[in-house]
Copies of this chain bind each other. A is one copy, B any other.
């Protein structure tokens, strides 16, 4: 078992990463809670809820609440239902919420925990690779019909318990999605790690490799968030690849492509801009091959129109000027923020689309 300590403005918390942790929860969870509510989704429930319930202390009453799997559960309706559950099972100030699932459940259950009785303890038990990103950093939220994550708080878990074994049931697309954010963290922090990732195939991933990647990803995220919890400065670097990714997700409609897959495509555009406009020498060819080898849906680029992408990006950034701030890389592990003009963005996007179509 590996462990990372994360410092936050309110308290420090441990991230435990290891195989089969869900079978030993009594060891990791304080016995002082009056009751526990496990919140999970309908898919994760079938796989892991029983294990989790069995491994919690018999001395503490355990309740469960299940929402339908999928991003659409990160909604006001589910939020209200879950608060009703908290009231119904009489959670008090000394109760605990466990968020068992991917980033959707982490964000939703975390927001419930942050506002029930003005905030009670919660533990993240991530069951997706992508959730290595969402389980650390304290951002919790639900979506509004008009935009993602518009309603939420900054509220840190008291612990993150990451059972690597639960990744075994993940469908391929969710592994790809998770590794979109893993490789982002590598690009942001560590050249050697990035090159190692680019040499590997996701279908041949070992548990050891996965555990190490998740731990390194969490360390990168934690160290940035510790320095800038409220995104006043360097936390922006975590948006590497995300400006285009958000535009693609919005354009295709959520669910068409996973978040991490969109990020992986966004990273390709980031490399293009860094190299062509700013003279960087990022390994764009190797990255393209890695995307292809692992079946990332790079072809979505042929389905989008540069001008529409641009409008979406400007909407997203609420900018009135015809320029957009991008996170780019001088070289691997050396990010910076720079303003890029509309015309250049359009040109580079068209070039990239042509390259991708031509292949």
Contact = CB atoms under 8 A, between A and B. Distances in A.
Interface in A220-256: none
B115 A318 contact: no
Nearest to A114: B153
A137 to B, nearest CB: 11
A154 B87 contact: no
A87 B144 contact: yes
Interface stretch (A96-104, A116-124, A165-173, A344-352): A116-124
A115 B118 contact: no
A139 B118 contact: yes
Interface in A141-160: 141, 144, 146-147, 149-154
B153 A119 contact: yes
A316 B137 CA distance: 35
B118 A141 contact: yes
Interface in A184-236: none
A292 B80 CA distance: 44
A151 B115 contact: yes
Interface string A2-21: 00000001100000000000
A90 B76 CA distance: 19
- What is the interface of chain A mostly: helix, strand, loop, or mixed? mixed
25 contacts: A9-B9, A9-B10, A76-B80, A83-B151, A84-B144, A87-B144, A87-B146, A87-B147, A90-B318, A111-B115, A114-B153, A115-B115, A115-B151, A115-B152, A115-B153, A116-B150, A117-B152, A118-B139, A118-B141, A118-B152, A118-B153, A118-B154, A119-B153, A119-B154, A153-B153
Task: Give the size category of A's interface with B.
Answer: 20 to 34
A154 B115 CA distance: 9
Chain copies in complex: 2
Given A117-B150, A119-B153, 9 more contacts: A84-B144, A87-B144, A87-B150, A92-B318, A115-B115, A115-B153, A116-B151, A118-B152, A118-B154
A153 B112 CA distance: 11
Interface string A61-98: 00000000000000010001001100100101000000
Contacts of A152: 115, 117-118
Contacts of A119: 153-154
Nearest to A146: B87
Contacts of A139: 118
A80 B142 CA distance: 12
A80 B80 CA distance: 10
